[in-house]
Structure 1
């Protein structure tokens, strides 16, 4: 009962400060950005303005280049028109294919900001698409598909794991520290020594407020952006574990300082380190060991599983139990830290 009463008191007090409302505002901004700014899927199709010599109109070159679905081939009437089109569309490339003394001449027209590697790559791509039409051509490259029917999230939903991690799961890392410092300045923590409420119950109540807010904003964001095609049971479990872990880390860091100004540097570094795992999330090919040991790395992929139709339930639960366990250990260490600080 003491824990519940402390939780309700802290919940009421927390909503009288502006920290919690920052969390709500951020959640609404995220929803607005994902729904009205970020498209369901980005159009990754490039444009190629192509001038083809009339002599080569029946050579099959246009058909060969058009088979590449990643590039939209737009036919023009002259090389000058290619250049004019590129001056209006700064994201496109151009090409001119003509007959020159019995030989086919390829001219790649670029914007001017491309590096030598990009220029060489574009040249080889054009050549390769044409060579593929030759039955005797052997590219010398074997492509092996590892997962034939692997599920892919939409571009909009693919942003949800990192936004949930930083805004809902790890929101307690900074906000709980701010509330601890507010209570330190007001003498609330030291006053606990003469009340029936223990330090452990006080910190659990703070963690409960962070968990309540994190679950509310996380579920609200998910419902508005992703709708019903989410494993909400797994999401609640994962949010609970990751939020408690983030709050415990925030409590631990705050135990070494007596003001939010002094702790700002450590809190900022902790948040940046945790956010760094997003690099490997968006570029899975870049996942060195130091990146994989970051807490955010497995959590991001666990959040991703929640949005898949066939989620890896075992993977999500393993990560939830792991970070819940780590969070409990960090929380217990934090309790010892605050007990020593108060009794000194």
Structure 2
């Protein structure tokens, strides 16, 4: 009963201050950006400005390029026109095809910002595309599909895991620290030493407030952006585990400082380290061991699973239990820290 009473009191107090509304405002901003700014899927088509000189098999070349749905082809009358078009369209590439003594000659005109690797890929793709419609072409590439039922999230939904992690899971790390320092300034924490409420119950009530807010904002974003295409049971499990972890970590960090200003450096470093796992999330080929060791790394991919029709339950449950266990341990250390500092 004492814990429930403390939780309800802290909940009322928290919603009378502006700190908790930061998380709701961020959630609404995320929803607005995802729905009205981020497209369902980005247009991955490239612009190709092409000039085909007389003496070449024009119809054959155009037929081979038009079969590529990822390229928007614009046919121009001269090489100079191609260069002029590239100056006006910085995201496009150009090509000139002419007949030479050895056969077809390809001149690829790029913007200059492309890397050597990208240049080689573009050259190979273009030349291979032309060769495929040539009468003497023999296919020598073997394609093997590893997963016939692999699912692909839309570009919009792909951003959801990192947004949920930063706003609903780890935003409490900052907010709970702000509440702790506010209570320190008002003498609330020291007053606990002469009341029946224990330090543990006081900290648990803070965890409860952050969890309540994190669940509300996380579910709000998921419902408004993804609708019913979410495994909400697994989403709730992950939100609970990650939010408790973030709040416990915030409580532990706050125990070493006596003001929000002094703690900002440590809090900022922790949240930026957690966010750095997003680099590997968007570029899986870059996954060094130091990033894989970050708690946010498995959390991002676990959040991603809840938006799939066939989620990896093992990954979700393992991540949930791991974050819950880590949160309990960190919370115990936080309780010990606050008991020690209050008795000094």
- Scaled to the shorter chain, the TM-score interval is over 0.9
2:105 aligned with 1:70: no
| SS of 2:159 mapped into structure 1 | helix
Are residues 1:30 and 2:30 paired?
A: yes
Helix, strand or coil: the match of 2:145?
A: coil
Instruction: Give the Cα–Cα distance (whole angstroms) in 2 for the partners of residues 162 and 100 of structure 1.
Output: 53
User: For residue 210 of structure 1, what is the aligned residue in structure 2?
Assistant: 210
Aligned position for 1:112: 112
Q: Which secondary structure does the structure 2 equivalent of 1:55 belong to?
A: coil
Query: What is the RMSD computed on CA atoms of the aligned residues?
Result: 1.7
* CA apart distance, 1:131: 2.8
Alignment-derived partner of residue 39 in structure 2: 39
Q: 1:321: which partner in 2?
A: 321
Q: Distance in 2 between matches of 1:95 and 1:318?
A: 51
Q: Distance in 1 between matches of 2:120 and 2:238?
A: 46
Higher deviation after alignment, 129-138 or 221-230: 129-138
Partners of 1:328 and 1:10 lie apart in 2 by 21
Residues 200, 135 of structure 1: alpha-carbon distance in 2 compared, 3 angstrom cutoff: farther
The Cα shift of 1:316 comes to: 0.9
1:143-171 C-alpha deviation (Å, 9 max, x unpaired): 43221220011000110000000000111
- The match for 1:246 is 246
TM-superposed CA distance for 1:108, in Å, is: 1.4
CA distance in 1, matches of 2:267, 2:319: 23
- 1:164-175 correspondence runs (5 A): 164-175=164-175
- Alignment map for 1:232-311 (pairs within 5 Å): 232-311=232-311
**Partners of 2:166 and 2:2 in 1: how far apart?**
31
Aligned to 2:19: 19
Deviation string for 1:90-144 (max 9, x for gaps)?
A: 1111111112457422221222333444334322322222233456656765443
Unaligned segments of structure 2, at least 5 residues: none
- Give the Å deviation of 1:237: 1.0
Moved more, 132-141 or 194-203: 132-141
C-alpha distance in 2 between matches for 1:290 and 1:236: 28
Q: Displacement, 1:295? A: 0.5
TM-score with structure 1 setting the length: 0.95
Q: Give me the whole-angstrom Cα distance separating, in 2, the residues matched to 1:281 and 1:102.
A: 46
Local SS of the residue matching 1:114: coil
For residue 233 of structure 1, report the CA deviation from its aligned partner. Answer: 1.1
1:36-58 residue CA offsets vs partner (Å, 9 max, x unmatched): 00000000110111111243245
The answer to whether 1:132 aligns with 2:143 is no
Match of 1:221 in 2: 221
TM-score under structure 2 length normalisation: 0.95
CA distance in 2 between partners of 1:17 and 1:59 (Å): 70
Structure 1 residue 192: Cα displacement? 0.1
* C-alpha displacement of 1:59: 5.8
Aligned mates of 1:114, 1:295 — CA distance in 2: 35
Does 1:94 find its partner at 2:118? no
The number of residues matched between the two structures is 344
Matched, 1:7 2:20: no
Q: Structure 1 residues 79-88 or 297-306, which shifts more?
A: 79-88
Query: Which 5+ residue runs of structure 1 have no aligned equivalent?
Result: none
Identify the range of structure 1 (63-72 vs 332-341) with the bigger mean alpha-carbon deviation.
63-72
Any idea what SS the aligned residue of 1:281 has? helix
Corresponding residue for residue 151 of structure 2: 151
Residues in 2 aligned to 1:85 and 1:324: alpha-carbon distance in whole angstroms: 57
Distance 2:102 2:199 in 1: 88
Give the SS at the match of 2:55: helix
| SS in structure 1 at match of 2:234 | helix
